[in-house]
Amino acid sequence: MNIKILGTGCVKCNHLEAATRTAVNELGLDVEIEKVTDPAEIVSWGVMSTPALVIDDEVVMSGKVPSSDDVKRLLAAR
């Protein structure tokens, strides 16, 4: 599983990263989380509103900060 957090480093982006790391730890997953902060790369994903969460090369959420439980549901759906 490949997880990316797309965002420029704002507070919301940091909250998404924290929620994602919490969800991954609670599920006991051994995955690497990559932060993408380059605006051109973020736009290349088709994301116009950050933060965004990418799981296995698919944008599954953008423009809001989910709770760690929301992230767990997104991960479990994979």
Res 72: pLDDT:
95
Active site annotation includes 73 = no
Instruction: Tell me the pLDDT tens digit for each residue of 5-62.
Output: 999 989 999 999 999 999 999 999 999 999 999 999 999 999 999 999 999 999 999 9
Active site annotation includes 72 = no
Annotated catalytic residue within 2, 8, 10, 38: 10
Query: What is the SS3 string spanning 4-33?
Result: EEECCCCHHHHHHHHHHHHHHHHHCCCCEE
Beta bridge partners, 61, equal 53
Could you give the strand order of the β-sheet that contains 52-55, starting from the edge strand earlier in sequence?
Answer: 32-36, 2-6, 52-55, 58-62
Annotated catalytic residue within 3, 6, 13, 52: 13
Q: How many domains are there within the chain?
A: 1
CATH number, domain at 36?
Answer: 3.40.30.10
Parent domain of 21: 2-76
